[in-house]
Amino acid sequence: MVPLLHLFLLAAVSGLPDTINIGGLFHSTETLEELVFQYTTQTINSEGMILHKTLVALPKRVPPNDSLVASSIVCHLLEQRVVGIFGPRAGPTSPLVQSMCDTKDIPHVETSWDTKQRRQDFLVNLHPHPSTLTRLYMDLVSAWGWKKFTLLYEDASGLVRLSSLLTMFDKKDNPVTLRQLATHKNHRQILRDMRHAGERNIILDCSIETLPEVLKQAQQVGLMTSDQSYIITSLDLHTIDLEPYQHGGTNITGLRMVDPNSTIVEMAVKRWADLELRKGKNLGISPQTLTVSMALIHDAVQLFAHALRRLDSRAVNMRPLDCESQDSWGHGASLINFMKDGQSMLRGLTGMVQFDNEGFRTNIMLDIMELSYKGLQRVGTWNSSGKLNITRLVPPTSVHDSESLHNRTFRVLTALSHPYGMLRESTVALKGNDQYEGFGIELIHELSLMLGFNYTFELQLDNVYGSYNNKTKQWTGMIQQLLKEEADLAITDLTITSDREAAVDFTTPFMSLGISILYKRPTEEAPDLFSFMAPLSTDVWICMFSVYMGVSILLWIMGRICPYEWNNPYPCIEEPEELENQFTLQNSLWFTIGSLMQQGSEIAPIAVSTRMVAGIWWFFTLIMVSSYTANLAAFLTVESTTSPFKNVRELANQNVIKYGAKIGGSTVNFFRDSADKMYRDMYKKMIEEPGVLASSNNEGLKWVKERNYAYFMESTSIQYITERDCEVAQVGELLDTKGYGIAMRKDSSYRNQLSSAVLKLQESGKLAKMKNRWWKEERGGGRCADNVSSGNPSPLNLLNVGGVFVVLLGGLVLSCFVALYELLCKVHETSRREKVPFLEELMAEFRFIARCHGSTKPIRKYNSQEKEDSPPTGEGTGPQNFVRMSIYGDTPYGFNTNMKVPLT
Ligand code: GLU
């Protein structure tokens, strides 16, 4: 009897039976949670550290919305003497399970985010309470300095959970925009609307299953740029692939409850994997893919096991419970209290598992995660006592590595301006970027290949590029779109100006140009009666005439100086009275004009000096005549064209031809802001005159062709037009020099990368090739190439032929010296021979020359007797019965040699 009593007492004290059933309710999508539920109980049983009894997991599948099925499953579990029910996930069936557990005093353990969670006697929920998490989101919104945001939610329960966020700011400025994701899988329209509305700060609340699709579509519509910031409420953000978004500079913040690097997580996952291996399967769970719901199931089972151990000290009877009857389990309340009172001090996969006196999870510690180009990084922590501790030093958007444009999507604004942006000609309807082509479109494509970004083109429909309106204090056009963050980049024939540079940033210029005038092609000039004069400029004609006169006179004078030009006019008469000189003034003029006209004359110089003059003159005439002939040929073959004005000054100084430029463009602003009064006056005229400022270059071109109108346009655009439209041409030079650049918002982090990529394209010659193709080949380029005149020939001026004049002048000076030398020699010889003083002889010669009269010269007679006394010298020495007649008769040339006249 005593041993029996002893046994009975022992059984009563040891409490729990050897096997304890626990039920688990799972949806069909929760296969892994179900496995974790089973494996955790198996681990507890095999290790025997927490409980020395055997836990038996009874997992059941429940349909998410069928309460009837759910209740019958719960009844079935109660009949199986379960001491606790885990799950199901929050939804329509969970309140039903909750109330059944309440009725039967069976602990109900939940692990999901439940909006309806209240303090219940028999309920314990390991998931942080929604209000706790909402506090965290509010702390983050404040820490990130958001003044307004969009709450993008998946279903109404999400909105309820996050309702406190809606009251965070003063409602006056509508700081919170609510948007619900589409019920079907295509959320693009909503995301596009958000982009158009300029919504940059987004709290995204959706299940982890929906999240990848939403992020993907956000990227597709351009809502994943560096301008957007996201807070993602899902605690499982780390389990999805974020690689496509980590280089785009989008500021994505998430939260993490499970640290995949902690030892406890690694060990738990390893144990599950070992159990799975024994079955020859691969669970496919890694610390990185461990979701919060799996971790919470693990922690819930562990917590339950700890509570059971404490209950083990009591006498616990277990019996099947009938749903139809009123009976309940007597130990449920104790068990639930053991779970909540915190004495078990359980450190689970989700951190310390503790509850406050309301029965809600407390002392929660969450990691604040941010997506950077290195992946998801922990940047701080938050604990449920409200302490947000951000440890990150560098804002995630300041990523400067070369990869940072990878997978980033830019919204690129362009305008329909040929050839920078054009609609592609196609027989089928095109969509998206395929609709456009052109130089600007190709340039963006090349840059995207180099830097790895994506792009979507948008059109500036009104074709306004952007100028600052002083009245409204607002920018217009494309610049305004950039400032309003409607676009990230703008590319077209957008000129870099100082005004614009103050508001936005530009890349280095990809094209250089200047302002010029587009006007009707110049008409043919009527032939000029005196066009033979055209090959030489007036200066040259004057110089020609001067040197002709000069050389003729010089020849005449030299003829007189030079002794050898005085000849016996009658060679048959041996004793002439006088000598004759062929270089009279008329003859000299005749001789030079004869050679200038390439005809020659009967006059031939005899002396060295005069021959030198003749030679140099012939050389001069050869060059001049050849130059004249060559240039005349050019004048005769090239059609001369004429335009009513040749440059901007001539255009400004007339009133017949109207002129203008593109409204609000940099060209018209050039006239407005110019320091030159003439340009400012032209601007005044342009704005006062109606109908001269065109809305686009095409309109300007139309006016040029239809009216008497000149259009100021950028040279590159003029070049494009004149390649295709042969009726118009550029008139005059460039008024300035500037460049086109790609515009972006100020201080954009990608500016440098874009600029250096543009430079690389320039250096490799790719830009030049692209320009050549779009200007000269595509869409009718090169049509007017034959019409392009090489320009009117220009008359030769002094600069062209000055050298010949110099040579002529040099030759003349030299020949003067030679002439002088010839004279001196002869005078010297005569003075020696005739025994007359040299100076006297020379003076006599000079006197004769200075008379400048007549072409004959009497022969001087010397006293021969005087000469007999002295011995004869030199070449003139002869027999005594001869009288030397004159020095003028002695020439070394031809017939007029020393004449010895016999004495009679
Ligand atoms: N490229 C000019 C601009 O950026 C437009 C054309 C013009 O003004 O000639 O404003």
Ligand 1: does its nearest atom lie under 6 Å from the Cβ of 496?
Answer: no
Question: Does the annotation list 667 as a binding residue?
Answer: yes
Architecture of domain 410-514+741-776: 3-Layer(aba) Sandwich (3.40)
How many angstroms is it from 666 CA to the middle of ligand 1?
Answer: 5
**Which residue, among 674, 698, 671, 699, has the nearest Cα to 685 in the 3D structure?**
671
Which residues, including other chains, have CB under 8 Å from residue 322's CB and lie 6 or more apart? 75, 78, 79
Mean predicted confidence (pLDDT) in 530-545: 90
Select, from the ranges 90-94, 388-392, 592-596, 890-894, the one with the highest average predicted confidence (pLDDT): 592-596
Question: Measured over all CA atoms, what is the biggest interatomic distance in the chain, rounded to whole angstroms?
Answer: 207
Is residue 393's pLDDT more than 70? no
Give the DSSP H or E segment for 640: none
Ligand 1: does its nearest atom lie under 6 Å from the Cβ of 515?
Answer: no
How many angstroms is it from 262 CA to the middle of ligand 1?
Answer: 61
Residue whose tokens read 């009976």: 327
Strand boundaries in 101-228, DSSP class E: 108-110, 123-125, 149-153, 176-180, 201-205
Torsion sign over Cα 676, 681, 687, 693: negative
- Cα separation, 408 vs 219, whole angstroms: 8
Each residue of 609-620: b (16+ CB within 10 Å) or e? bbbbbbebbeeb
C-beta of residue 275 within 8 angstroms of C-beta of residue 43: yes
The two three-digit tokens of residue 793, written as one number: 């020939």
Provide the 8-state DSSP code for 719: H
SS3 of residue 709 by DSSP: strand
Is residue 496's pLDDT more than 70? yes
Comparing 504 with 372, the larger pLDDT belongs to: 504
Per-residue pLDDT tens digits for 796-826: 888 888 999 999 999 999 999 998 998 899 8
How many angstroms is it from 669 CA to the middle of ligand 1?
Answer: 9
Which CATH number is associated with domain 519-523+643-736? 3.40.190.10
SS3 of residue 371 by DSSP: strand
* Beta pairing partners, 524: 641
C-beta of residue 258 within 8 angstroms of C-beta of residue 290: yes
Is residue 877's pLDDT more than 80? no
Ligand 1: does its nearest atom lie under 6 Å from the Cβ of 732?
Answer: no
The number of angstroms, rounded, from the C-alpha of 833 to the middle of its chain's C-alpha atoms is 96
The number of angstroms, rounded, from the C-alpha of 340 to the middle of its chain's C-alpha atoms is 62
- Cα separation, 87 vs 79, whole angstroms: 18
- The residue nearest atom 8 of ligand 1, judged by CA position, is 665
Q: What is the pLDDT of residue 842?
A: 86
Contacts of residues 154-159 at CB distance under 8 Å and 24 or more positions apart, as own/partner, are 154/180, 154/181, 154/205, 154/206, 154/207, 154/210, 155/180, 157/90, 157/115, 158/205, 158/206, 158/233
The CATH homologous superfamily for domain 130-256+366-390 is Response regulator (3.40.50.2300)
Question: Does the annotation list 666 as a binding residue?
Answer: yes
Which residues, including other chains, have CB under 8 Å from residue 558's CB and lie 6 or more apart? 565, 583, 607, 609, 610, 613, 815, 816, 819
The two three-digit tokens of residue 794, written as one number: 């220009």
Per-residue pLDDT tens digits for 181-195: 998 889 999 999 998
Q: What is the pLDDT of residue 7?
A: 41
- Cα separation, 836 vs 526, whole angstroms: 72
Per-residue pLDDT tens digits for 734-789: 999 999 999 999 878 888 999 999 999 999 999 999 999 999 988 888 888 665 55
- Cα separation, 432 vs 457, whole angstroms: 7
- The residue nearest atom 5 of ligand 1, judged by CA position, is 665
How many angstroms is it from 521 CA to the middle of ligand 1?
Answer: 23
Give the DSSP H or E segment for 802: helix 798-833
Strand boundaries in 349-473, DSSP class E: 351-355, 361-362, 365-372, 375-383, 387-390, 409-414, 422-423, 436-437, 454-459, 468-469
- Cα separation, 384 vs 387, whole angstroms: 7
> Ligand 1, closest atom to CA 668?
8
Q: What is the pLDDT of residue 359?
A: 74
Rounding to the nearest 10 degrees, give the CA dihedral for residues 130, 131, 133, 136: 170
Provide the 8-state DSSP code for 80: T
C-beta of residue 711 within 8 angstroms of C-beta of residue 662: no
How many angstroms is it from 750 CA to the middle of ligand 1?
Answer: 25
Mean predicted confidence (pLDDT) in 384-398: 67
Ligand 1: does its nearest atom lie under 6 Å from the Cβ of 516?
Answer: no
The answer to which of 309-318, 474-483, 690-699 has the lowest mean pLDDT is: 309-318
C-beta of residue 618 within 8 angstroms of C-beta of residue 593: no
- Phi/psi for 270 (5° steps) reads -65, -45
Q: How is 529-562 classified by DSSP, letter by letter?
A: TTGGGTTB-HHHHHHHHHHHHHHHHHHHHHHHH-
Q: What is the pLDDT of residue 880?
A: 35
- The residue nearest atom 6 of ligand 1, judged by CA position, is 665
- In this prediction, residue 866 has a pLDDT band, given cuts at 50, 70 and 90, of very low
- Cα separation, 567 vs 894, whole angstroms: 10
Ligand 1: does its nearest atom lie under 6 Å from the Cβ of 30?
Answer: no
> Ligand 1, closest atom to CA 515?
9
% the chain with pLDDT above 90: 49
Torsion sign over Cα 45, 50, 56, 59: negative
Domain 2-128+273-351 of CATH type 3.40.50.2300: yes
**Which residue, among 247, 241, 193, has the nearest Cα to 215 in the 3D structure?**
241
The answer to which of 63-67, 80-84, 233-237 has the lowest mean pLDDT is: 63-67
Q: What is the pLDDT of residue 529?
A: 79
Q: How is 431-461 classified by DSSP, letter by letter?
A: -GGGGEESHHHHHHHHHHHHH--EEEEEE-T
- Cα separation, 888 vs 841, whole angstroms: 12
Same fold, 130-256+366-390 and 519-523+643-736: no
Ligand 1: does its nearest atom lie under 6 Å from the Cβ of 662?
Answer: yes
Q: The sheet that has 856-858: what strands, in order across it?
A: 566-567, 578-581, 856-858
Residue of 414, 416, 465 best suited for mutating to test ligand 1, as the one with most atoms within 8 Å of CB: 465
Fill in the amino acid letter for 646: K
Each residue of 44-60: b (16+ CB within 10 Å) or e? bbeeeebbebbbbbbbb
Domain ranges of the chain: 2-128+273-351, 130-256+366-390, 410-514+741-776, 519-523+643-736, 532-635+798-902
Which residues, including other chains, have CB under 8 Å from residue 39's CB and lie 6 or more apart? 271, 272, 275, 276
Residue of 439, 463, 495, 693 best suited for mutating to test ligand 1, as the one with most atoms within 8 Å of CB: 495
Each residue of 694-726: b (16+ CB within 10 Å) or e? bebbebbbebbeeeebbbbbbbbbbbbbbbbbe
C-beta of residue 901 within 8 angstroms of C-beta of residue 883: yes
Which residues, including other chains, have CB under 8 Å from residue 339's CB and lie 6 or more apart? 107, 109, 124, 303, 304, 306, 307, 355
**Which residue, among 561, 566, 587, 565, has the nearest Cα to 576 in the 3D structure?**
566
Helices (H) and strands (E) in the chain, counts: 28, 38
- In this prediction, residue 863 has a pLDDT band, given cuts at 50, 70 and 90, of low
C-beta of residue 276 within 8 angstroms of C-beta of residue 16: no
When the pLDDT of each residue in the chain is averaged and rounded to a whole number, the result is 85
